[in-house]
Structure 1
Amino acid sequence: MRTLEEVQATLQIAKLKEEDLQETIHCLSFGENVSSADYCLLELDDTLCKHIETGQSLVIRGDKDEHAVLCSGDKTYDLKIADTSNLLLFLPGCKTPDQLPNNQDSQQVVHTQVWGFCNSYWELRKRHPKLKKLTKLLMENPYEGPALGGQEEITENRYTMEDLLERIQASEEEIKAHLETIHVCQIDDFWRVLDFDYEMKLLGHITQLVDSESWPIDKVPLQTTLEELEPLEPRAMIEHCLSCYGKRYTENDNVFYSLHEDKVCRGLAQLLLQNAVKFNLREFQEVWQQSVPEGMSTRLDQLRSLALVDRMSNPETICLLRVDDLPEDTVERFNHLFTLREKWTEDDITPYIQDLCGEKQTTGALLTKYARSSVQNGIKVFNSRRPVAT
């Protein structure tokens, strides 16, 4: 342990002035068996610091074959190792200059023991949650309706929220938001995605009833709908479908649903497109309009990130291309898109790369980095920066 006199002698050798230093002098010493492997340091911003200080937790998620991510209650972060040229010391109880008293009359030596050291730390970068795996897990056993007489329901590959939190690299709020987006419902404590054909069957029952009763599409009575369709499907499934494709409201103590035009038109368009490689665009638009309830209007902008129109073919065609089916990795996504089509207009490609944008990042920035632009027939188009295998 150094004395004050030894410290002052060291200052003279180093040609440092005592008046330029704090009155409290820390002398550091290493404890026995101190190792750099004893501790990991994590850099947190103010938001995450307050998150920890209020007693909330941060969770590291990832299977053995995945790069670990850190999740708060509502956000997901990449974990990156950052090296530093300065050795970082772990000193419990050590006070910084702003924590020291200003009224000390003389210098004093405080002996502080080093508990650990590192020359790197974990830094966090906010990222999009990895949710493709969530859909994949739920699609292992989609819900196709109640089991018919004599049939046993498949009980394998069903997941509770706790199961999903263990498997999915996303925060709980992000998982719940995605479950709502893909129309998942809770059945016997398990989260189940509806088989698309079954979901369309439910929607078909509802839209046919709306047409037959001549109800306004923005005023579908819940109780009457449940009573009319109960012989066909469970009440819970009918109400779930109404929640997926409409907005619930109450008027004079009666519950109604206002059907969402874009959601209904989009769902019925996917039903038409899913069994065809390509569809004549004009014929598709005619059939599509005929399939939706009276009072609804179909528009191609309702199909952003769901279907791709080819204006260069003769006749013009449309095909199913869901953004959910594309790779999550940015490089792989662009390679896949340029395999499907050599040149893209900005309007066509934007719906398929929008979800790749990071915080404060634009699709224009992504295109600048991963694509090359040119002008074709007066229209700006984008193609791959490197040869793409077809």
Structure 2
Amino acid sequence: MTGELTARMRTLEEVQATLEIAKLKEEDLQNTIHCLSFGDNVSSADYCLMELDDTLSRHIEAGQSLVIRGDKEERAVLCSGDLTYDLKIADTSNVLLLVPGGRTPDQLTQSQEGSHVVHTPIWGFCSSYWELRRTRPKLKKLKRLLMENPYEGPALGGQEENTEDRHTMMDLLDKIQASEEELQAHLQTMHACQIDGFWRILDFDYEMKLVGHVAQLVDSESWSFNKVPLQTSLEELSPLEPKEMIKHCLDCYGKCYTENDQVFYALDEDKVCRATALLLLHNAVKFNLREFQEVWQQSVPEGMSTRLSQLKSVALVDRSARPETICLLQVEDLPEDTLERFNHLFALREKWTEEDITPYIESVSPFKPYHKLDLCGEKQTTGALLTKHARSSMQNGIKVFNSRRPVAT
């Protein structure tokens, strides 16, 4: 196949003469010869090209849509129903021509004998295109928006609830740079719920109050925490809190199942223990580790066992302190940007063991299977990130990592 850029329609004889001057054999080429010409009012600003991977191509071919999201101060991202992509302009040294109805050689019918000319109009041209790269959704803004008006429980004493700063799903999709599936999953991770059509995050103290009510009921009734009856729980606790909130708490901290037509919840030991630890650590700058572990174990329902592994990505143990201490450090409160995240971590602590730093750069928490706050991409590993942003050394026989660059404190 040959192509020419011309201001007028060329004949087959003129094309053949051009091939002869170029010393090209006509029989070595496709039979169909495209004679390209610019249409009226063609401009490079009229069109923008985007390079799609196989996943997005199938998404478009199935009739689905893509959405560009981002406020004016944010870098735009492209979202499908379940994935988020960074948008980046890539320049090309070759001018890209937009030819409507253009066909590749395998799409052409070669039954016609001999060469023939097809006159093809050009509708536009570009010297750059949008390049897409899978990225983590930008979810940190979600918590900030929902925390503007957290749900603190039903209004008391005739007080009217604050109706400002409440958001529907459409509001959140307009403001959060994430696909709808990623947004829904993170709302679930945050224990958010819909109240009167608006998505609300529970106030920390109120959520812990609900967990406390459930735990106390389990203890007082001597139930197994693996078999908590839904209906009885709602009846016993409804004088204290709305039934919808009790069920929401059970959904967040347990798994529903049915036995003999009766609905039960198996409370998740790790989730309940972690929530109890967060309550203990919430108002303490640092806690003596040994004392904390004793109080923590005494505070959970009977039969549950507390373990420090339950606190990965939410609390940090300092083994070098005397006595050893523990403090609150939640991954969701750290910067989303990779460099900023490492700078923040090394500002908190000069040297990190791999065991301590891993939960804050790679999601290892068993409570967040759809967690999107980690830094590791699809093909990245913790080791690769540490090699790029940290320097390793040995300290008392243990490998530790410190920053490769000066850190402002």
**What is the deviation of 1:102?**
2.8
| 2:386 partner SS | helix
Secondary structure of the structure 2 residue equivalent to 1:111? strand
Counterpart Cα distance in 1 of 2:121 and 2:18: 20
CA distance in structure 2 between the partners assigned to 1:228 and 1:150 by the alignment? 24
Match of residue 363, structure 1, among 382, 386, 402: 382
**Equivalents in 1 of 2:46, 2:232: separation in Å?**
65
Amino acid across the alignment from 1:349 = I
Where do 4+ consecutive residues of structure 1 move more than 3 Å?
none
2: distance between equivalents of 1:2 and 1:198?
A: 78
2:28 to 20, 35, 40: 20
What runs of 5+ residues in structure 1 fail to find an aligned partner?
none
Task: Please list the CA deviations of residues 330-363 of structure 1 after superposition, one character each: whole Å capped at 9, or x if unmatched.
Answer: 0000000000000000000000011101111101
> How many angstroms apart in 1 are the aligned matches of 2:227 and 2:198?
31
CA RMSD of the aligned region, Å?
A: 0.6
Aligned to 1:389: 408
**Is the counterpart of residue 54 in structure 1 residue 73 in structure 2?**
no
User: Is 2:342 the partner of 1:323?
Assistant: no
Q: In structure 1, which of residues 361, 369, 375 is the aligned counterpart of residue 394 of structure 2?
A: 375
What is the match of residue 269 of structure 2?
Answer: 261
In the TM superposition, residue 103 of structure 1 has moved relative to its aligned partner by 2.2
Q: What residue number does 1:312 align with? A: 320
The 1-side partners of 2:72 and 2:213 are apart by 45
For residue 106 of structure 1, what is the aligned residue in structure 2? Answer: 114
Give the equivalent residue in structure 1 for 2:303. Answer: 295
User: How do 1:1-390 and structure 2 match up within 5 A?
Assistant: 1-354=9-362, 355-390=374-409
Structure 1 SS opposite 2:255: strand
- Deviation of 1:47 after TM superposition, in Å, equals 1.5
Q: Deviations over 1:208-248 (max 9, x none)?
A: 01000000000000000000001000000000000000000
Q: Give TM-score scaled by structure 1 length.
A: 0.99
Give how far 1:32 is off.
1.7
Distance in structure 2 (CA, Å) of the matches to 1:232 and 1:9: 92
Deviation, 1:301, is 0.4
Code of the residue aligned with 2:153 in structure 1: it is G
Q: Which amino acid aligns with 1:380?
A: K
Counterpart of 1:374, as a letter, is S
Residue-by-residue CA offset, 1:186-206 (whole Å, 9 max, x unaligned):
000000000010000011011
2:54 maps to a residue whose letter is D
AA aligned to 2:390 is A
Greater alpha carbon shift after TM alignment, 313-322 vs 99-108: 99-108
> Tell me, what secondary structure is at the counterpart of 2:50?
coil
**Number of residues of Structure 1 aligned to a counterpart in Structure 2:** 390
User: Which amino acid letter does the alignment assign opposite residue 85 of structure 2?
Assistant: Y
Q: Percent identity?
A: 80
Matched position secondary structure for 1:283: helix
Q: Deviations over 1:8-28 (max 9, x none)?
A: 111111111111111100000
Unpaired runs of at least 5, structure 2: 1-8, 363-373
Quote how far apart the aligned CAs of 1:150 are: 2.1
